């Protein structure tokens, strides 16, 4: 699956379950293992699990491959490995503590969120 299509699919799946502070980082020049890191916050263990489940469901439905899902037992930090894209779903305190955006420091990918697309498409 094309990387742009996959990242759009993931972001849309996260927005469906009301993820907060979604960040897409281009890590293609930092690692040969994957091209994008997507970080998002969930407000509870239940929400981070639901975010991960929705990402997995949407990717599989689109014919994509899910390599693994880790951290669903605790739910504080759930990782979804999609090969070219790695998704980190974290509660805000865990996200702040680990600072993945700083660690990966990749170039942020500019994407319109689905809500922004709907607003700009709505008639005035």
Q: Which two tokens stand for residue 31?
A: 């690692």
Find the DSSP H helices in 17-99.
Answer: 45-61, 92-98
41 Cβ neighbours under 8 A, 6+ residues apart: 19, 20, 21, 89, 90, 91, 92, 95
**Angle formed by the axes of helices 3-16 and 114-121, nearest 10°:** 90
pTM of the model as a whole: 0.83
Domains and CATH numbers, the chain: 3-110 (3.30.460.10)
Q: Which two tokens stand for residue 5?
A: 């299509």
Which tens digits make up the pLDDT trace of 65-124?
A: 999 999 999 999 999 999 999 999 999 999 999 988 877 775 566 666 555 544 444 444
């Amino acid at each position: 699956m094309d990387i742009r299509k996959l990242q759009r699919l993931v972001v849309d799946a996260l927005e469906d379950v009301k993820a907060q502070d979604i960040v897409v980082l281009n890590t293609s020049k930092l690692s040969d293992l994957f091209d994008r890191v997507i970080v998002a916050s969930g407000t509870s263990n239940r929400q981070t699990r639901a975010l991960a489940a929705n990402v997995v469901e949407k990717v599989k439905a689109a014919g994509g491959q899910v390599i693994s899902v880790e951290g669903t037992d605790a739910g504080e930090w759930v990782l979804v490995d999609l090969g070219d894209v790695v998704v980190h779903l974290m509660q805000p305190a865990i996200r702040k503590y680990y600072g993945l955006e700083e660690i990966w420091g990749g170039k942020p990918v500019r994407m319109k969120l689905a809500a922004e697309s709907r607003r700009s498409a709505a008639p005035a």
